[in-house]
Amino acid sequence: MSSTILVVGPKLGVALIVLTVAAAVVATVGRLGHGRQILVAAGRAAVQLAAVSLLITAIVVSLWATAGFVVLMCVVAAGTAGRRITRGRHGWWAAVPIVVGSMSVVAGLLVAGLVPLRGIAVIPVAGILIGGAMTATSLAGRRILDELTSRWGEVEAGLALGLLPRDAVLLVCRPVAGQALVPALDQTRTVGLVTLPGAFVGVLLGGADPLAAGITQVFVLVGLLAVEAVAVVLTVELVARGRLLPARSEALR
């Protein structure tokens, strides 16, 4: 029985190219505006994973190298989320919800002894949690800023009535921020029925029994919910305090 889900070979390379081109063409024809980005993202994914595959053996044997790689993941995640929300110096505030949300959970797991202090364990766990925090921060930030753009008059009305700037913004953005948790909630609700996520499949392919694989996956999903909830709350607070806003921030101070 193969130890991988896919058969690695020339056919897989061709399939990847076909799927990437198909996605880009559909996005372009459908005027979704992300045709080029799909090609770039797929190319970057291939190059980055190839590089990490070559380096990972050297990284995981050193705790210092592991820590450096985790820091790199946080920096890249913060830059990505920041660009999704806004451009310019304000975007780096996205590092706060990502780092606080993910690293607090990682630190707790290490202190509790649930995750061994070894690179081979820390890197994948940290990567999953940082990725979840990045997605939640991006979704919450974009949704909040879109809402503020369309309903800025309500914020100004609140200010005119004597509300503090933070409270006026929260009236508009807090109700919609929770939508950023919908993907994680849906994935958790439907796990095992609609999807079999990577942690579950990976543990099974590693030779563990299905029960252990299921427990591992539940742990990952619940950890992601905790991380993303923290990230969304902090994103809301940063926007309300005028930190993540590329414009109008002076009006909120």
Q: What is the pLDDT of residue 71?
A: 94
Q: What is the pLDDT of residue 96?
A: 93
Domain boundaries, given as residue ranges, for the chain? 1-60, 62-252
CA–CA dist 23, 45 (Å, integer): 15
Q: What is the pLDDT of residue 217?
A: 76
Q: What is the pLDDT of residue 45?
A: 87
CA–CA dist 55, 45 (Å, integer): 15
b/e map of 153-188 (b: 16 or more CB within 10 Å)?
eebeebbeeeeebeebbbebbbebbeebbeebeeeb
Q: What is the pLDDT of residue 228?
A: 93
CA–CA dist 38, 24 (Å, integer): 6
Q: What is the pLDDT of residue 27?
A: 87
CA–CA dist 160, 177 (Å, integer): 24
- Any residues with CB less than 8 A from the CB of 109 and at least 6 apart, and which? 115, 125, 223
Q: What is the pLDDT of residue 209?
A: 67
Q: Please spell the DSSP secondary structure of 66-89, one letter per residue.
A: HHHHHHHHHHHHHHHHHHHH-SSG
Which parts of the chain sit beneath pLDDT 50?
1-3, 247, 249-251, 253
Q: What is the pLDDT of residue 231?
A: 93
Q: What is the pLDDT of residue 101?
A: 93
Token pair, residue 43, equals 């190319």
Q: What is the pLDDT of residue 119?
A: 85
